[in-house]
Structure 1
């Protein structure tokens, strides 16, 4: 018994059909594209936007704090 009632033989048949339909080169390209898309998404989620000017850094942080405070007030209403 395999995954959810699908045996290993059924999985191998499905894999063979997919390879016949798309070909190994196209499957490799799809995997590469999908991997780079996921990598880019993770990078954009983890990175914070850069502060443009070091002199204005405290001013920008103050604006961010004010914006968050206003948003919290609106959600509390």
Structure 2
């Protein structure tokens, strides 16, 4: 994450780390959640400005995590 990204939202998405911990690809997650790889990539790279609650719930269900495991305050 770049300092500029943190300035924009103050939120860091840990999608990369969670996928690695679960040995899951972005493609597999996209298929399971029903969200495009492009949109997940935007989220993963801290470029998202918003996320639908339904998408957030679907990602957390697929990764078996809580929202706080996925999204954290940037420091």
Structure with greater proportional strand content: 2
TM-score by length of 2: 0.25
Query: Whose RCO is larger (CA < 8 A, sep 6+)?
Result: 2
Larger radius of gyration: 1
TM-score by length of 1: 0.24
